[in-house]
Amino acid sequence: MAQLTVSSPAKINLHLEVLGQRSDGFHELAMVMQTIDLADTLRFKTTADGQIQLECSRPDLPTDASNLVVRAGELLRARSGFPELGAHIQLDKRIPIGAGLAGGSSNGAAALLGLNRLWGLGFEAPELTAMAAELGSDMPFCMAGGTQLCFGRGELLEPVLPAAADTLAVLLIKQPEAHVSTPWAYGRSRELRGDFYLSEEQEFAQRRDALRQNPLLAQLAEGRCPPRLRNDLQQLVEPEVESVRGALALLAQLSNGSQTANPQLSSPLTVAMSGSGPSCFALFADLGQATAAHGLLANALETAGFEAWCCSFNPVGVSLI
């Protein structure tokens, strides 16, 4: 029986700009996304029963056709022309769910990669990326990974060259029970900002060019922490989601005298929400600084009921182990 294992890492947004509304109902975006080394694992085995069966270490995650892993398997099988193909997939979750870290999209991308190999289908990367884009806006990024400019719905990728230094690291925090619905966050954006949305393709193109020239990219490539990150959804979500306000306030404590308390925290603090939240992160020049910051905040995080992860930047997306 054939089997294989795929690593399915999370992402954070280093820039998220909502440009306008598209005719397909989605938002036109200009983003910088970054893979981090907080990863789920998917183990695939072939089965002879023609079923795509998903088992997950988190009992609260649906394992039916609403899960992107199952939908990815069904799409791949339909495109292969071999309806009899079956697989058992064991998903071990470490990425928090509904967190703005693209955990579900990454798992779907991992299923495309893993099942293509397991079933010996031979689809090439561009074909898998096209299937990924049909299933979710973040899924093509999750396949490619690293540091990418993401345009359109988020599915049009341009690698940032040179990529962000992989020494950069984050302290990522989230309350276990907190979730933000992505459609809700974009709906709020439409309600509150719709009047200011750009609408012409020429205006979108100008914003894309501006992001390609943004000093953020050079700072990341040189391993320097940018002084600020832009996430247009943060200003909408923060006033309405207590957990996000709490997370940002906790991380901000790191800039209140902690640099003198701990000289390892030498650079000014850059803090942002990831995606539509509620995960928030502080950026550091290396994992040692992120770990030191975690140590300084450990008591406050525990008291406020937050989970925390120290993660490095990862140069690739989903990958065979």
Residues that bind ligand C5P (CB under 6 A): 26-27, 29, 136-138, 153-154, 182-183, 186
Query: Among this protein's residues, is 166 annotated catalytic?
Result: no
Report the distance separating Cα 294 and Cα 262, nearest Å: 12
Using the minimum distance from each CB to ligand C5P, give the nearer residue, 182 or 291: 182
Cα torsion through 57, 313, 142, 221, rounded to 10: 180
CB of 120 to ligand C5P, least distance (A): 29
Distance CA(178)–CA(71), nearest Å, equals 25
Q: Which two tokens stand for residue 171?
A: 């302290």
Nearer to ligand C5P, 37 or 138 (CB): 138
What are 272's two structure tokens?
Answer: 């942002």
DSSP3 helix / strand / coil % (the chain, rounded to 5): 35, 30, 35
- Residue 292 Cα to chain centre, angstroms: 24
Is there a contact between 40 and 103 (Cβ–Cβ < 8 Å)? Answer: yes
Identify the active-site residue in 11, 40, 174, 232. 11
CB of 129 to ligand C5P, least distance (A): 14
**What tokens appear for 27 in the block?**
């938002």
Minimum separation from the CB atom of position 131 to ligand C5P (A):
14
212: Cβ–Cβ under 8 A, 6 or more apart, which residues?
149, 158
What amino acid is encoded at 231 in this protein?
A: N
Residues 6+ apart with CB under 8 A from 173: 247, 250, 251, 279, 280, 281, 301, 306, 307, 308, 309
In the complex with ligand C5P, the residue whose CB is nearer, 153 or 208, is 153
92 is catalytic: no
Q: 138 or 232: whose CB is closer to ligand C5P?
A: 138
CA 165 to centroid of chain Cα atoms: 18
> Which pair of structure tokens corresponds to residue 304?
């406020």
Least distance from C-beta 180 to ligand C5P, angstroms? 11
Q: Tokens 């120290």: give the residue.
A: 310
**Of 37, 138, 174, 232, catalytic:** 138
Query: Which is closer to ligand C5P, CB of 230 or CB of 294?
Result: 230
In angstroms, give the least distance from the CB of 69 to ligand C5P: 14
Shortest Cβ distance from residue 174 to ligand C5P (Å)?
19
Q: Which is nearer to ligand C5P, 56 or 133 (CB)?
A: 133
Q: Which residues are catalytic?
A: 11, 138
